[in-house]
Amino acid sequence: MTDLHYLSATEVLHAFRTRDLSPVEALEAVSARADETEPVVNCLLERDHEDLRTAARVAEDRYAGKGEPPRPLEGLPVVLKEEQPITGRTLRFGSLLTEGLVADETHPVAERVYDAGALVHARTTTPEFSCAGFTHSELWGITRNPWNPDYAPGGSSGGSGAALASGTAYLASGSDIGGSIRIPASFSGVVGFKAPYGRVPALPPFNLDVYCHDGAMGRTVADTALLHNVIQGQHPVDHVSLPALPIPEDLGDVRGLRIALAVTLGDIPVEPEVEDNTRAFAEALRSAGAKVEEVQVDISLERLTEAALVHYGSIMGPSMSEEVALDDPRFMDYTRMFLEKSSAAYGRTSVYTGMERETEVHLAIAKVFADHDALVCPTFGGLGLRAGDSYVDGLDVAGRHLEIYIFAALTPVFNVASRHPVLAVPSGIASNGVPTGVQVVARPYDDVTAFQVGAAAERELGLWLDPTWRPSL
């Protein structure tokens, strides 16, 4: 087999079962690929921390019928976002301020990935405290986009997105409090799933934050469903976690589904190339048999920003202060900006007012779903973010200046409306070589429909199913 590192996870597992490929060979393929790409991409941490080759040989024996039967991810090389703790391992959050910090508990996502037999061969980079839509820090340096290294792969799960795009992992974990799975999925040209609140268990106290989601990332819709099925479902450490809703293997039937197309949400600016690729995605769904209708979504960017900042200011600032002093000069410039703006919003606006603004978002989305089974809209209005730029002075999108760059993303809408499952899927490539993406949004807790729609468009457009859909790196 050629380009082993770019096989899908489902293909690799099938080849393990038929014994056409061994876990040792797959591990060697992604390791060799990382040796080639990491000097440029810089997305992996703690490579080969464990005796993985021994574990790969044990997995190979399981597929040969020796010992216990293979588990769902047996022998598959997978990476985990560093933010998700593993007992006894360092937990740096991309910050110089966390030297010596070691995790004393394991995140349910990491626990389930290990229990499923995966070979966790690396952890992935994040921005400091996962509070940016790009991925660079003084601690770990700049993580670059495999499609165009002048750009970021998104954030805060940018290391995971870059690993998938560069071929150095078959699956990856992410987390999302404002778009941190979906933004890197878009910029990295991969797939990510923000499950509805509670579907994927988390650690206290953030399991009680309805904006917070941990989730699966992969190169294809089927791969993302595979990992999601492993990590979802109730867990004793997370009392509010929901029962699992398995995603079936047979995906992509959208005949007769009513799908709303929104080329933006409210007055969020969107570049023409992003709109064009979003419309092409919708046309692919029409070709697959869906009924697609263009809609307007009545959301105010100003009021959405206020609602989100109040929420962040009430939770994330205090959470950071438990580990470090908030006036420490070693904070990254983007972290300081985030803290200042969110804390100021929280100080001048009551939590109740923030809830009123959130209600406006919920009602606007509910209006769409009164007549539709799913909604398709862009993930990010701009054409990527430059690698290493902190955007503390804002961002220009489609002729409009946004004071806070992250609100060029259309993702925070669905951290507010957090019960909606959202599958982020590639929609094309912009003229600068950076992929664009869409969000496939389903009704609250209707996870399967989001995957059905994403799989149908993926099949029609080709994407990772087409061998030419690869970064040139």
State the Cα–Cα distance between residues 266 and 297, nearest whole angstrom: 5
Give residue 2's pLDDT band: very low, low, confident or very high (50, 70, 90): low
Of the residues 8, 31, 81, 95, only one is catalytic, namely 81
The pairing of beta strand 141-142 with beta strand 136-137: antiparallel
pLDDT at 325 over 80: no
pLDDT at 1 over 60: no
H helices present in 256-378, as ranges: 272-287, 301-321, 333-348, 351-369
Averaged over 185-196, what is the pLDDT?
A: 98
The model's pTM is: 0.98
Averaged over 139-149, what is the pLDDT?
A: 98
pLDDT at 321 over 80: no
pLDDT at 49 over 80: no
Count of all residues that appear for the chain in the document: 473
At the top level of CATH, the class of 7-465 is alpha beta
Structure confidence at residue 387 (pLDDT): 98
Of the residues 156, 157, 175, 418, only one is catalytic, namely 156
pLDDT in tens, 351-377: 999 999 999 999 999 999 999 999 999
State the Cα–Cα distance between residues 196 and 193, nearest whole angstrom: 9
Kindly list the domain boundaries of the chain, sorted by start residue.
7-465
Q: Is 180 annotated in the active site?
A: yes
Q: Is 81 annotated in the active site?
A: yes
pLDDT at 301 over 80: yes
151-180 as b/e, with b when 16 or more CB fall inside 10 Å?
bbbbbbbbbbbbbbbbbbbbbbbbbbbbbb
State the Cα–Cα distance between residues 398 and 123, nearest whole angstrom: 36
State the Cα–Cα distance between residues 328 and 123, nearest whole angstrom: 27
Contact in structure between 239 and 215 (CB atoms under 8 Å): no
Give residue 472's pLDDT band: very low, low, confident or very high (50, 70, 90): confident
Structure confidence at residue 323 (pLDDT): 64
Among residues 4, 40, 43, the alpha carbon closest in space to that of 20 is found at 4
Residues 6+ apart with CB under 8 A from 28: none
State the Cα–Cα distance between residues 248 and 251, nearest whole angstrom: 7
Read off the tokens for 462.
């080709």
Structure confidence at residue 317 (pLDDT): 74
Stated as kind and residue range, the H or E segment containing 259 is strand 258-261
Structure confidence at residue 200 (pLDDT): 99
Of the residues 180, 186, 188, 342, only one is catalytic, namely 180
